[in-house]
Amino acid sequence: MKSEIISIGDELLIGQVVNTNSAWMAQELNKVGISVIRITSIADDHADIIKALDEASERADIILMTGGLGPTKDDITKLALCDYFNSPLVFDQPSLDNIQRIFTLRGYTMNEINRKQAEIPACAEALVNIHGTAPGMAFRLNNKVYFSLPGVPFEMKALMSDHIIPMLQKMSDKVIIHKTILTQGVGESFLADKIEEWELSLPSYIKLAYLPQPGMVRLRLSATGTSKEILQKEVDIFIEQLYSLIPEYIFGEDDDNLETVVGQILKEKNHTLSTAESCTGGYIAHLITSIPGSSSYFNGSLVTYSNQSKVQTLNVNPHTLEQFGAVSGETVIEMAEGVKKVFSTDCSIAVSGIAGPDGGTPDKPVGTVWIAVSVPNKEIQVKKFHFGEHRVRNIRRSALAALDMLRKQLMND
Amino acid sequence: MKSEIISIGDELLIGQVVNTNSAWMAQELNKVGISVIRITSIADDHADIIKALDEASERADIILMTGGLGPTKDDITKLALCDYFNSPLVFDQPSLDNIQRIFTLRGYTMNEINRKQAEIPACAEALVNIHGTAPGMAFRLNNKVYFSLPGVPFEMKALMSDHIIPMLQKMSDKVIIHKTILTQGVGESFLADKIEEWELSLPSYIKLAYLPQPGMVRLRLSATGTSKEILQKEVDIFIEQLYSLIPEYIFGEDDDNLETVVGQILKEKNHTLSTAESCTGGYIAHLITSIPGSSSYFNGSLVTYSNQSKVQTLNVNPHTLEQFGAVSGETVIEMAEGVKKVFSTDCSIAVSGIAGPDGGTPDKPVGTVWIAVSVPNKEIQVKKFHFGEHRVRNIRRSALAALDMLRKQLMND
């Protein structure tokens, strides 16, 4: 089955918004064996929408649209769909109930514009958008299926995962299974060298993809066939081989991320964590507390941006700062010790570095980061890293490196 | 003049790469008055490339392609261009010299595959790619102009800035200007109600777009005409009217964001800031410290996830927690007072709330958030918010609401 994605919105055509929606959707569609043959971005323009739908339905079986479903005048996708499918707008009660629920929750009063968001073309099937007021819609015409989704990424994603992907899976006769292995602390080309023989041993119906991200590389196996059981067994064997080849780099699978993996280990081992952050500026705490239930193992963080605050709140010795500088192994050790006492935890992470773009010196250029990790019954571990020149990337890479150090220290308990 | 962008590459259609090139190109084209009417992503497929070129040249005057110019077998754009323009491949000496220069620079030896990158269709004008081995190309046919560029972002960008934009500027007679106003603390539909009359008063050549993001709505005016000066004056008048209509919601313009705006005000007024974060878990500190130079006004943050840490580190009265709970106006006031003392700052933000998905009660459902903001010579300001059910969004909305409260308090000094 072939699909096309039509992204609707003037903001895409002036480059104000990068089209991340279509990349995410393409990933999800490919996972269930539906190839995407074209992605088209067009304006919030009636004629353009009709034209794009006409063209896409000549090439594809499944057409997915995003955007243009907001309550304001510039959002005209719904009217274009009425014309395209020759179907009048009608009120959809479940959609209206959903809008009402959201407004009650937020403590706002609904106005006429909001109410009108519950209108959909009569021939459409409404897909309830639990995160927003614009319902998703499904249409069928001439053996083709069409979906219209809001452009707000998390609303679109929920509608895709809850409604559309399950619907499309039922329509397909092919089975595709995926398994993703997450690695940290190793570059793509180095990884490729290490697993070259293993990669060559994969049969033609099991494909490997390298998916690099700042600070990590994901390895995804995709197996295509007719029996889920057989494919699963084969993939499991290859994954087992991979674990024995590169055990030191693998930190998780599929939708794991370092913060969930670290959280699970802390929970299982009944540990508590605190963080002392200088250059990461609270980002490690943010990652950890993004996980529901993190309050059971995370007590708190001290973001100490000034030297003074390192001394006053973390009890770092002023002489240490003077002699070795804030960005040093000696300082992060004292920060890691100090923060454990402040928050009464048995584990801690401390980070100090030069995120940039300013503040670098010949001795300590931008990207120099010291990380200390403390866990019970072990000496504090300290490491020095050299990241790049890009501030936001340095912050992210420091945070991931710190979480991975903690993970390894806890695993070796 | 109308343009279209055709992005060529299998990696775009499986979602492995987000198409950031086309957004950047669209921005640059719009800046010089060339509107982009469509962006199309297609596979590295001969027939698809020819088809896309055919279609685009029916609609647009300028067609820009990226991708598929690499030295490997899967890169077939150049051969497709030979067919489309009915022109054989010939060696281009300046391109060959450029490849030779790059290989000498990197200390590599050129092979036949690299040499072949200097071949271009005979009818093309070569555009020297100083950063890479694949030359850019310009074609003219039936009063249309076509460009083919490598997909590597920094190579494409240099070719656009050095060659293509200057060429197009000479060809254009239309001017487009954009102005974006950033609002916080108000939903899209309420905003639409508030500015309906103003919106209706806009002339047909000035278009308004609503661009919602979690926690903010951007309003963009786009004016098209022939004189930049006249358009700018008109847009300025409408923007001024907008400021007088919704002054309380506007926090910035164009590429501003709340963390940069707040940072500028703190710097100008010579204030220092600290934050005490419960449910936001360090995210406010992270936003603030993402900005280069934030160390001059941001001293630090205390992320106090447990009640105990609120008492011990922020000196919150245990009776306050007992009587009113951690999520209360009383508690955030004491947190805001406490954190100023810890970090010796004259301004502070304190947040406590229930980010979810668990922890809600009938009295204090998930999404209930209390924020306190303290600035010099004013009483502490406290507000209660009701956000949604989604943890990560609640964290983001809380952070933006807190920064906006601080901004307003500082503006009213």
pLDDT digits (tens, 9 = 90+) for A344-392: 999 999 999 999 888 899 999 999 999 999 999 999 999 999 988 789 8
Cα A168 from chain centroid (whole Å): 23
Instruction: Please indicate, yes or no, whether residues A208 and A127 belong to a single structural domain of this protein.
Output: no
Instruction: Please indicate, yes or no, whether residues B333 and B241 belong to a single structural domain of this protein.
Output: no
In the stretch 274-293 of chain A, residues with CB closer than 8 A to chain B read 275, 277, 280-286, 288-290, 292-293
Q: Does B27 touch chain A (CB under 8 A)?
A: yes
List the CATH number of the domain containing B266: 3.90.950.20
> Using CA atoms, how far apart are residues A6 and A57, in angstroms rounded to an integer?
11
Question: Minimal Cα–Cα distance from A278 to chain B, Å?
Answer: 9
Instruction: Please indicate, yes or no, whether residues A241 and A300 belong to a single structural domain of this protein.
Output: no
Angle, nearest 10°, between helix axes A77-84 and A46-59? Answer: 50
Instruction: Please indicate, yes or no, whether residues A235 and A271 belong to a single structural domain of this protein.
Output: no
Q: Which of residues A145, A171, A197 is at a domain's end?
A: A171
Angle, nearest 10°, between helix axes A258-268 and A391-411? Answer: 30
Q: Which of residues A187, A218, A253 is at a domain's end?
A: A253
Q: Which of residues B253, B271, B302 is at a domain's end?
A: B253
Instruction: Please indicate, yes or no, whether residues B218 and B285 belong to a single structural domain of this protein.
Output: no
Count of domains observed in chain A: 3
Instruction: Please indicate, yes or no, whether residues B237 and B140 belong to a single structural domain of this protein.
Output: no
Residues of chain A neighbouring B339 (CB-CB closer than 8 A): none
Range of the domain at A307: 258-411
Instruction: Please indicate, yes or no, whether residues A213 and A105 belong to a single structural domain of this protein.
Output: no
Instruction: Please indicate, yes or no, whether residues A211 and A81 belong to a single structural domain of this protein.
Output: no
Measure Cα distances from A402 to A268, A379, A383, A392 in Å. Answer: 20, 16, 9, 16
Handedness of CA B153, B155, B158, B161 (dihedral sign): negative
Instruction: Please indicate, yes or no, whether residues A189 and A296 belong to a single structural domain of this protein.
Output: no
Contact indicator for A373, A229 with CB cutoff of 8 Å: no
Nearest to B292 among A154, A283, A357 (CB): A357
Contact between chains at A24 and B12 (C-beta distance less than 8 A): no
Instruction: Please indicate, yes or no, whether residues A197 and A180 belong to a single structural domain of this protein.
Output: yes
Is the ipTM beyond the 0.90 threshold? no
Contact between chains at A16 and B38 (C-beta distance less than 8 A): no
List the CATH number of the domain containing A219: 3.30.70.2860
Angle, nearest 10°, between helix axes B307-314 and B329-343? Answer: 40
Tell which residue, B206, B208, B231, has the closest CA to residue B219.
Answer: B208
Instruction: Please indicate, yes or no, whether residues B213 and B160 belong to a single structural domain of this protein.
Output: no
Residues of chain A neighbouring B55 (CB-CB closer than 8 A): 55
Nearest to A40 among B20, B38, B357 (CB): B38
**How is the beta sheet containing B35-42 ordered, strand by strand?**
A125-127, A136-141, A144-149, A62-66, A2-8, A35-42, B35-42, B2-8, B62-66, B144-149, B136-141, B125-127
Q: What is the DSSP letter of B173?
A: -
A223-254: buried (b, 16+ CB within 10 Å) or exposed (e) per residue? beeeeeeebeebbeebbeebeeebeebbbbee
pLDDT tops 90 at residue A53? yes
Per-residue pLDDT 10s for chain B (413 aa) are 899 999 999 889 988 889 999 999 998 998 788 999 999 999 999 999 999 999 999 999 999 999 999 877 778 999 999 999 999 999 999 999 999 998 888 777 888 888 999 999 999 999 999 888 899 999 999 999 999 999 988 899 999 999 999 999 888 777 888 899 999 988 888 899 999 999 999 999 998 988 877 778 999 898 988 898 999 999 999 999 999 999 999 999 998 999 999 999 999 999 999 999 999 999 999 999 999 999 999 999 999 988 899 999 999 999 999 999 999 999 999 999 999 999 999 999 999 999 989 889 999 999 999 999 999 999 999 999 999 888 998 999 999 999 999 999 998 76
Nearest to B27 among A15, A23, A105 (CB): A15
Instruction: Specify the pTM.
Output: 0.79
Nearest to A24 among B15, B211, B386 (CB): B15
Q: Does A24 touch chain B (CB under 8 A)?
A: yes
Best B182, B195, B289, B389 member to test A by mutation, with max A CBs in 10 Å, is: B289
Instruction: Please indicate, yes or no, whether residues B203 and B281 belong to a single structural domain of this protein.
Output: no
